[in-house]
Chains A and B, each alone.
Chain A
Amino acid sequence: MKIFICGSMHFAKKMLEVKKKLEEMGHVAEVPCDTQEFANNHKMTTDNHEENYKWCIDNDIIRKCFNSVAENDAILLLNYPKNGINGYVGASGLMEIGLAYYLNKKIFLLYPPPPVKEAKYSHEILIIQPTILNGNLNLIS
């Protein structure tokens, strides 16, 4: 299966690890175009909103990621805990889930989304009925 791996660039290194694992399992995996930059350069961070915004605009990251959603069979959102929230899904991840749903792609979440009480947008994710892997990549099919 052709799978686009998405999620916060805070987890760029993990994205590359998961890509390797998926390829070993026989899948074709793609990561966001700037993953290597984030993984290699410790100065690049998602915490500086202003810099991050400039980076995304200058490199047309949002559109490139959306095109990757369209070009693959499935998306896998790596929603590791972040900012003290289990199953964190950022705004880009949420938009990618919505686009994948519209384009009838398979949607995998590595972990359950945050409880609705902590993040209202979890309702939007749950009604789309993604496959929750609970950390087990072998469940991808």
Chain B
Amino acid sequence: MEKVTAKVFRYDPSTDDTYRYETYEVPYEKGMRVLGVLMYIQENVDTSLAFRYSCRRKRCGSCGVLVNGKPRLACMEEAKEEMVIEPLPNLPIVRDLVVETTEYEERIQSISPYLVRKNRPEREPEKLLPNNFTAVRPLNQCIECFSCMSACPVNGLKWEGFSGPATLIQLARRMLDPRDDMDRIPDAGQAGFEHCVACYACVNACPVEIGILEGVIENIKKKYTEKEPSVYGKYNKTWGDLIVKNGLVNPFTLMRKVSTFDKLLSNMVIGIKFFLKGKISLKSQKIPNIDEIRTIQKVIGEKR
């Protein structure tokens, strides 16, 4: 590869009616990153190109952009022969590739993203054992680049009540910290964790490889459902109960047990259509050796 052809999103809301794309040809250097391409354009072709960066080594999280439609850190993403470089979506554009992240920052601020200790430790200096921080440590790596927010399909819909994966990471950091003694359950409810669709798009986008689904959202789900009744909790529990009862989950039984009366009523039409197509079985299937599952559950319960 001798050169990089970069099609770059350009827009200045103070002067332009709409956005445009400009194409630049940049001489390729071995190991070149997207940030290097943008810096070359700014230094040699068009000084007005606006983009954010600071540390150039995956620590500050400020150079997040879309590269060929995928959220990436410009400082880490290898330059490709042909690239479309755009600002992170779903946010107001300040200029070109610079977006206004205040909305996301405010969401994070709303969940008190700091350690709250109402009670002093029993002994000082306090003994902090590494094992007690196993769950928190990976979450401390978050650089708030908001790549996860860009990748999340629910955040993309601006779904009411969902604060997005980056907010949930900060919430889980505190919920899982053994020193924190603030009741985080109301914030978890407010943050709308149950709207996560478990699609792993955030996990795939995270440049510091945080296991956002298992390490963050599933931990919040667990802690929340232990303390508060919720539709999600009912769904989750019913799923497990049906496996122990039958070995298989009949979707109709699951829906019937989880849905409220008004939800069931609103699903009547589609329910009848599914029934007429033979897609709903009123009788749950049971695996022949269901006793094995029950024995396993009993043994695990006893060991716990």
**Do the two chains bind?**
no
Q: Hey, which bits of chain B sit against chain A, CB under 8 A?
A: none
